[in-house]
Structure formats: C-alpha cells, structure tokens
A and B are shown apart, each in its own frame.
Chain A
Amino acid sequence: MNFSSLILPVLILGVFMHGVFKKVDILDAFAEGARENLVTSAQLLPTLALLMLAVGMFRASGALGAFTSLIAPLFEFLGFPPECLPLALLRPVSGSGALSVLENILSEQGPDSFAGKVASVLMGSTETTFYTVAVYFGATKIKKTRHALASALAGDMTAFLLSAAAVRLFLG
C-alpha cells in the first residue's frame, strides 16, 4: 500500500467528521450534491456520444495508429508517449473529446502502462481552456481578451511537457 491510496479514504473521513461535528444534515446534504452531479453527468451524454463516434471511427479505421507511428520518433525524443498526443491536442478544445480519447488510451494501453499514467495525469491537471476563457469573458462586456488565451495555452503546453516527466520521476 502506498501513500496515495490513503488520500481518498482520509479525505472522505475528514469531510464526514467535519460535517458531523458542525451538525450538518449529512443525508440531506449528500443527496443534494449527488442530485446536482447526476444532472451534470446526464447533460454530458449527447456530446459524448458524438465524440465517441468520431474517435471510435478514427481508431477503428487504423488512421489513429498510422498518425501515432508517424509522429512517434519526434515524441519519443521528447520523452512523451506518442499515444497521448491526440489527448494533448484535444484537451484544450473539447472536454467530451478528451474523455473519449482518455477512455481509448486506458483500454488500449492499460491504465497502469506509461502512456496510461501520462494520459491520466494530463487529463487531471488541465482544463478545457478555450471553453473556459470564452465562458468567463462572455459574461462581461470585454471584447479584447488580450493575452488571456495565449497565457492559458502556455500553461497547457507546460502540463503536456511535465506530465511525462512527472510520471517518470514519481511513478518510475
């Protein structure tokens, strides 16, 4: 057993303890939070179905494999698993797209393979950048977002390069 498997149980215990201590109606709070997230997940399905269609067809045709082996030499040089490139490209653009590519990598390469771990780290440490920037400024009268997008994409680029390095360093 390692330290990271303790994170979730301890986190859950801590939250429940604090809740009981502060006399929160645990059942009521839990039910409300669960209901909110169920609605959110259900709303995900239509777009996810479309993305699954595109990604599934692309993989089954063999085009994904051809693309991956084409770019493989360059990315092996950078120490980045080429299987994760589609994820890195799609992540800032589409949340559902990234989910379906991640699902693909996890089932094809295995969740505990190097590519599987790198893909998981990349997914967990980045956001749907274009969408976020659009939504946040969309609520204001701002017309020029200046360097907001460029800076956020620089963050994505960093995450992309670091995810492979971090997995190699911390997970051997």
Chain B
Amino acid sequence: MIGILLFSIIFASVIYSAAAGTAPEVSTAALSAGEEAVSLTLTLAGAMAVWGGVMKIAERSGLTEHLTNILKPILRLIFRGLKKDSPALRAIAMNMSANILGLGNAATPLGIEAMKRLEQEESPGEAASQNMIRLAVMNACSLEIFPATVAVMRSRAGSRAPTEIIPCVIFVSFASLAAALAVAEIFNASGGKK
C-alpha cells in the first residue's frame, strides 16, 4: 500500500515538473534526499538517546511501576468484564504507562503481551472482543506526555519555544482518545460490524 502511494507521489512529481519546468529543482531534491534523511536521523538519534537514557532511569527506579498502579483502577473503568486479578489488566496498565512516558521500545512488546492475555482470558475466536478493540484503539491514539521527537525537530528548525506546544498536545491527545473510545462503544452497542 505504501509502495503504491510512494510510486504515485513520485510519478505525479515527475509529470508535474515536466509540465511546470521544475525538473532542475526536482533533480536537486532527489540528490539531496539521502543527505536530509541522514541529518534528520542524526538529530533524532542524539535526542532519542538522551531521552531513552532518562526514561530508563525512570523505569529502573520504579517510576513506571508507580504509574502502572495508579493507572490500573482507571483502566478498569474502560476495560470492563475482566476478573479482579486479571493478568491482562496488569499488562494493559504496564503498556499504558510505557506509552505515557514515551518508552516506545517497551510499549509495543507490553501491548502485544496484553493483547495475547486478553485473547486467553476472553477467547473471542476469530472476531476481536471489545476489550481487544479498546486496547488497539488506545495504542493507535498517542498518549505520550512529552513528544520528544517533535520538540527536537522544532528546536532544530530554530523555534523560540520548542516545548510550548506540549499543553496543546496533551489536550488533543486526550480529547481524540476519548472520541475514539466513544466511537468504539457506539459501534459495539449498535452491534458493530461482526
């Protein structure tokens, strides 16, 4: 799918440049694309290394564990019908705290673990259970409290206040998550597309 999309973009660029006479600019862009990718990766790699280091300290000192315990009762309100000491709920809470702290490397394996546990506990067969859908939706909406990548890219582009967007990011993250979960509940209540 991505392949076709990229092909269409490149195809459109070449045809358009032939018509608009911008072929020299397109050639320059094609030649510098690799360099730009390397320079962006280097900026991101440096910042992500620092951020990963800080967050690993948080993980080892038990901060993520605290967050997991805080999240569990809240998540119980969203993921309904799970047993009291459900291992799935614990895995979900760990996945969410990793997401909130921006521990991308840790969040995905934890989330997949949570998904498998939900499958064990609810044995939904071939069609996803509502709790599995809730978990997928929560991971497909970003919950990161500090969007490090974006902040670094802003700073690199010469922003006066690279972090000033954070309150907006948190607000929009939560609002869109709430909307996505609400839509999932409406689908479920109306019978969904089984």
Contact = CB atoms under 8 A, between A and B. Distances in A.
Interface of A: 2-5, 7-8, 11-12, 15-16, 18-19, 21-22, 24-26, 29-38, 40-42, 44-45, 48-63, 66, 93-94, 97, 99-100, 102-103, 106-107, 110-112, 116-117, 120-127, 129, 132-133, 135-137, 139-148, 150-152, 154-159, 162-163, 166-167, 170-171
B150 A124 contact: yes
B26 interface: yes
Contacts of A21: 61
Contacts, number: 365
Contacts of B183: 147, 150-151, 154-155
B57 A33 contact: yes
A58 B12 contact: yes
Contacts of B37: 45, 48-49, 51-52, 100
B172 A162 contact: yes
B112 interface: yes
Interface string B43-86: 01100111111111111111100000000000000000000000
B140 A155 contact: yes
B26 A60 contact: yes
B58 A60 contact: no
**Chain B interface secondary structure, helix, strand, loop or mixed?**
helix
Contact of A135 (B52, B61, B108): B108
B22 A60 contact: yes
Given A125-B169, A152-B137, A41 B48 contact: yes
A31 B52 CA distance: 9
Given A48-B40, A48-B41, A4 B167 contact: yes
B29 A139 contact: no
A142 B119 contact: yes
Contact of A133 (B40, B136, B167): B136
Contact of A18 (B58, B127, B162): B58
A107 B50 CA distance: 24
B34 A52 contact: yes
B46 to A, nearest CB: 9
A12 B167 contact: no
Given A45-B38, A60-B28, A166-B168, A29 B6 contact: no
Contacts of A33: 52-57, 59
B136 A4 contact: no
A127 to B, nearest CB: 5
A53 B192 contact: no
A145 B124 CA distance: 11
